[in-house]
Amino acid sequence: MRRPETGSEWLVARLPVMTQRYFLTGGLPIPEGKEQARRDSWEHVIKTVKAMRDAKV
């Protein structure tokens, strides 16, 4: 069984068990050559959520 991507463990721990299993089984396949774009995209999501939280949105 695989572990959630680094930095998202806190998020996965708060999800319902069935949803957690999705993260632990790998989820959707990432097309070859798109790994870095996916990581960059996730970082952008995290920064956006933080900005919204800081702005109390």
Q: Please name the residue ranges forming H helices in 1-57.
A: 9-13, 17-24, 35-54
Block mean pLDDT (10 aa), the chain, length 57: 68 88 77 90 94 95
pLDDT of residue 46: 93
Burial label, 11 (beta-carbon count in 10 A; 0-12, 13-18, 19+): middle
Which pLDDT value is given to residue 28? Answer: 75
Q: How many residues does the chain have?
A: 57
